[in-house]
């Protein structure tokens, strides 16, 4: 491992979006003077204080929720293409501020600058996607069984959408939800992670430049507060028919039960335990590079990060040998430094969880092939760095079955494709998967109904780095939600079936006779 030169700490770029000084933690068409506790924001790269936020309390949440509900009543009446025009303008504002937004993401979350910029680009891309979708909120024309009757299906705005996002994608996941919800006629209340509040404030400020002049700022409302107070209010609020939540499977269970208890709907994007299957006929260099990015990128803190490698015995040694070479070349350092490939983990708890996983692997008889050690890049004292680890393991081990949100990769030997698919599917999660093979039959089998049980299945590319054009999400303990592309927009609307009688008789369905004078 090697480290890159650390740039001098310069927070002047925060001034572009007015993020210096104490920030208000709630927005409801205007920024509120919140009554909650002050939250200090530290960068995981050096541990330095980079911002302060005055969090919202219950009274502040009520102001936000009321404003979002009022905004929805106005917003839903705008024609969908006009709503799309506002989304287009939001996307243009993101473009104007892409560089500074990317830096904020990197500094606050710890992912390298290229990934920070890529995340903001993802938010811009989904805005572009939503603009086109605003003219394609299609219903259906159906055939009635009754004469002189017409049937159709149409989609209407649902209401206020609650968006609970995690620290690892502090802008993109919100954009996946909010840009689509907007064109569908919904307003949003965003509850971001308390670990990355500055990104949320910055994104909200950028879009407020578009919406506020039209008196529509509260369409994209935001509230920063504790899970126990603000989070519980949001999930229990009957004014919010849909809650989209990203986080751990444990968190998702709680949110799902709370929202379902009031007959609300959820979109859940939860844990992953993603595997790459490597067959003996694979392009090993391509596989190794994809695995390295999938496991090391974002310090292993993506929900789609590669956790397991299921490799056939005949190519296990050369694949592992190449992975060890690639891991040795990973530059670990400050996320804003040029040449850095892996930044810090989000906090000490994240590092401790990887250490605990390593200790459990050793206890069960696995071997740590490399990494898993605390690491201190020059000039980054106080940051949360470690070397990415590779370990041999068995799939049934509890440490493998449970996702560790950090840079630890398990090497698991398999006999053949059938064995690989069985082991691949034998985990509680079902988000992303991949196979490397040059055999069309093996590739198609992996993508078939008897293959990968994940929401995402790839051939000759890794598990990480989904495009916005496809629906994103997974099965089992991953939650079953779908966001972003394809027809994911339907989750943000309510379906309505219409039947119109344009005749002079009143026939009943199923041929029922009900004569009454």
Catalytic residue IDs = 269, 303
In degrees to the nearest 10, what's the CA dihedral of 451, 454, 457, 460?
Answer: -80
> Sign (positive/negative) of CA torsion 330, 331, 337, 339?
negative
Short-list 124, 72, 127, 73, CA closest to 101? 124
427 Cβ contact list (under 8 Å, min separation 6)? 273, 275, 308, 395, 400, 401
The three-class DSSP label of residue 385 is coil
Q: How far apart are CA 100 and CA 16, in angstroms?
A: 8
Short-list 329, 352, 326, CA closest to 340? 329
CA atoms within 13 A on the CB side of 77: 5
In degrees to the nearest 10, what's the CA dihedral of 57, 63, 66, 67?
Answer: -130
Q: Please calculate the CA angle 19-75-186 and round it to the nearest 5 degrees.
A: 75
CA 296 to each of CA 145, 325, 343: distance values in angstroms, whole numbers, following the listed order: 58, 13, 9
The tokens of 238 are what? 């009957």
Q: What is the DSSP letter of 256?
A: H
Q: How far apart are CA 96 and CA 117, in angstroms?
A: 12
């Amino acid at each position: 491992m090697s480290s890159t030169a650390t740039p001098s700490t310069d927070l002047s770029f925060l001034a572009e979006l007015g993020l210096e000084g104490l920030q208000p933690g709630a927005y409801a068409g205007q920024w509120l003077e919140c009554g909650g506790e002050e939250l200090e924001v530290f960068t995981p790269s050096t541990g330095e204080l980079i911002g302060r936020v005055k969090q919202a309390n219950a009274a502040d949440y009520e102001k936000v929720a009321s404003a979002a509900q009022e905004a929805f009543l106005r917003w839903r009446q705008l024609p969908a293409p006009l709503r799309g025009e506002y989304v287009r303008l939001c996307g243009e504002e993101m473009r104007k501020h892409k560089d500074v937004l990317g830096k904020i993401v990197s500094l606050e979350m710890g992912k390298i600058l290229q990934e920070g910029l890529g995340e903001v680009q993802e938010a811009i891309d989904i805005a572009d996607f939503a603009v086109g979708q605003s003219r394609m909120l299609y219903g259906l024309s159906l055939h009635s069984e009754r004469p002189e009757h017409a049937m159709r299906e149409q989609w209407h705005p649902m209401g206020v959408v609650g968006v609970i996002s995690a620290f690892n994608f502090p802008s993109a996941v919100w954009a996946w939800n909010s840009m689509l919800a907007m064109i569908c006629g919904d307003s949003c209340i965003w509850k971001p992670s308390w670990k990355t509040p500055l990104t949320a404030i910055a994104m909200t400020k950028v879009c407020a430049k578009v919406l506020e002049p039209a008196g529509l700022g509260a369409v994209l409302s935001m509230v920063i507060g504790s899970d126990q107070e603000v989070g519980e209010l949001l999930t229990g609020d009957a004014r919010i028919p849909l809650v989209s939540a990203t986080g751990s499977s444990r968190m998702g269970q709680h949110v799902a039960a709370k929202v379902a208890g009031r007959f609300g709907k959820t979109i859940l994007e939860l844990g992953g335990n993603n595997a790459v299957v490597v067959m003996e006929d694979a392009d090993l260099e391509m596989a190794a590079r994809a695995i390295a990015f999938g496991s090391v990128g974002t310090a292993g803190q993506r929900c789609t990060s590669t956790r397991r490698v299921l490799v056939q015995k005949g190519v296990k040694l050369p694949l592992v040998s190449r992975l060890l070479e690639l891991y040795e070349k990973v530059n670990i350092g400050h996320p804003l430094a040029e040449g850095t490939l892996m930044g810090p983990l989000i906090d000490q708890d994240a590092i401790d969880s990887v250490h605990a996983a390593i200790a459990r692997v050793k206890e069960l008889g696995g071997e740590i092939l490399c990494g898993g050690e605390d690491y201190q890049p020059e000039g980054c004292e106080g940051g949360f760095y470690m070397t990415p680890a590779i370990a041999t393991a068995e799939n049934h081990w509890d440490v493998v079955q449970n996702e560790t949100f950090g840079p630890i990769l398990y090497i698991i030997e398999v006999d053949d494709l059938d064995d690989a698919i069985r082991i691949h599917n034998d985990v509680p999660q079902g988000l992303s998967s991949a196979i490397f093979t040059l055999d069309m039959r093996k590739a198609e089998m992996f993508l078939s109904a008897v293959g990968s049980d994940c929401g995402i299945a790839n051939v000759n590319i890794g598990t990480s780095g989904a495009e916005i054009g496809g629906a994103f999400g997974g099965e089992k303990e991953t939650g079953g939600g779908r966001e972003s592309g394809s027809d994911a927009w339907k989750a943000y609307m309510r379906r309505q079936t219409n039947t119109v009688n344009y005749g002079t008789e009143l026939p009943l369905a199923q041929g029922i006779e009900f004569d009454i004078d």
